[in-house]
């Protein structure tokens, strides 16, 4: 076990690189900045989130989408409690994330030194999330083909799929080109994000994730409810861009 020996100099360079990368794409995304004098405000301007535009997949191929549909249906399956990750549009959410800044790891430090990190240090691969997904899906389909006479992952039975997913989670399966465990960790995390994040990012369709757990959504003001101790409020969830009740019938 070797302690990471990042020295101060490297840290400083890293800071500069991150700083200049941020400056280059500061146009639309929220960035930390210092403010003096009046709080900046401009008529008609808003610090708005990137709303996922509907349409065909931007990053995933049809085959990749089929593999993800199948895999995330096992992580959050459709059942008697309601729709699952696939029905909630999580594949679409992942597509938009992988096609955007997250897929490019544009806000991460992605230079050397390349040391094997500790588990507590999180994701340590040289691959961007987009590269990781692309390589992992290919390797998973190859692995199921080897094992189940040429079938892709999406063509397997639920039990066979679960077995592969467990193998990835434990790191028992060697995907050769990518680290199975790193991929599984990221994929599980992203699936939960897609299922529970605001619908404007493309997942959590009809706020099914929020309805499942009783989360009331992006509400601004809870003052009317503070005194209602122990009462069931049954608030309809609301997304950043609204809820059905906003539409005049």
Partner 1 sequence: MMKIFSPFGAAGLAVAGLLASGSAQAVDSSFSNIRHGKELVDAGDCVSCHTQQDGGKKFAGGRAVETPFGTIYSPNITPDPETGIGGWSDAQFYQAMHHGIRPDGKRLYPAFPYPYFTKLTRDDVSAIRAYLNTVPAVKSPPRAANLTWPLNHRVFMRGWNMLFFTPGTFKPDPNKSAEWNRGAYLVEGAGHCGACHTPKNFLGADKTSQALAGGAIQDWFAPKISGDLHDGTGAWSVDDIVAYLKTGRNKFSGATGLMAEVVANSTSKLSDADLHAIATYVKTMKPEKNPPPAPPQARMDDPKMKAGAAVFADSCSACHGGDGKGTPGLFPPLAGNANVQQHDPATVIRVILDGARTVATDAKPTTSAMPAYNWKLKDDEIAAVASYVRNAWGNHAPPVDPGQVKAMRENLREDHASGS
Interface residues with partner 1 (CB under 8 A)? 38-39, 41, 43-46, 48, 219-221, 223-224, 238, 240-243, 245-249
* Residue 15 vs 244, nearer CB to partner 1: 244
Contacts for 247 with CB less than 8 Å, ≥ 6 apart: none
Q: Is 47 helix (H, G, I), strand (E, B) or coil?
A: coil
Q: How far is the CB of 207 from partner 1 (least distance, A)?
A: 13
DSSP letter string, 65-128: HHHHHHHHHHHS--BTTB--TTTTTHHHHHHHHHHSTTTTTTTS---S---PPPGGG----SS-
Q: How far is the CB of 213 from partner 1 (least distance, A)?
A: 19
Q: Is 202 helix (H, G, I), strand (E, B) or coil?
A: coil
Q: Is 160 helix (H, G, I), strand (E, B) or coil?
A: helix
* Residue 139 vs 238, nearer CB to partner 1: 238
* Residue 2 vs 42, nearer CB to partner 1: 42
Q: How far is the CB of 177 from partner 1 (least distance, A)?
A: 41
What is the rounded CA–CA span in Å between residue 99 and residue 101?
7
* Residue 171 vs 242, nearer CB to partner 1: 242
Q: How far is the CB of 47 from partner 1 (least distance, A)?
A: 8
Q: How far is the CB of 73 from partner 1 (least distance, A)?
A: 32
* Residue 1 vs 46, nearer CB to partner 1: 46
> Is residue 203 a contact partner of residue 89, using CB atoms and an 8 Å limit?
yes
């Amino acid at each position: 076990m070797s302690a990471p020996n990042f020295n101060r100099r490297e840290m400083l360079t890293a800071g500069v690189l991150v700083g200049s990368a941020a400056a280059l794409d500061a146009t639309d995304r929220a960035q930390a900045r210092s403010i003096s004098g009046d709080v900046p405000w401009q008529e008609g301007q808003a610090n708005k989130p990137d709303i996922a535009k509907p349409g065909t997949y931007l990053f995933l191929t049809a085959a990749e989408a089929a593999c993800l549909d199948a895999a995330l249906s096992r992580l959050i399956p459709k059942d008697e409690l309601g729709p699952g990750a696939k029905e909630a549009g999580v594949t679409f959410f992942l597509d938009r994330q992988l096609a955007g800044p997250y897929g490019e790891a544009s806000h991460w430090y992605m230079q050397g030194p390349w040391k094997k990190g500790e588990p507590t240090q999180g994701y340590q691969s040289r691959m961007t999330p987009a590269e990781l997904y692309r390589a992992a899906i290919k390797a998973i389909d190859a692995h199921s083909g080897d094992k189940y006479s040429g079938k892709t992952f999406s063509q397997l039975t639920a039990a066979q799929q679960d077995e592969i997913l467990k193998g990835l989670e434990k790191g028992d399966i060697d995907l050769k080109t990518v680290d199975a465990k790193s991929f599984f960790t990221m994929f599980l995390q992203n699936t939960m994000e897609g299922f529970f994040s605001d619908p404007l990012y493309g997942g959590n369709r009809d706020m099914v994730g929020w309805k499942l757990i009783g989360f009331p959504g992006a509400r601004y003001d809870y003052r009317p409810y503070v005194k209602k101790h122990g009462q069931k409020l049954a608030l309809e969830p609301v997304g950043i861009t609204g809820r059905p009740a906003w539409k005049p019938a």
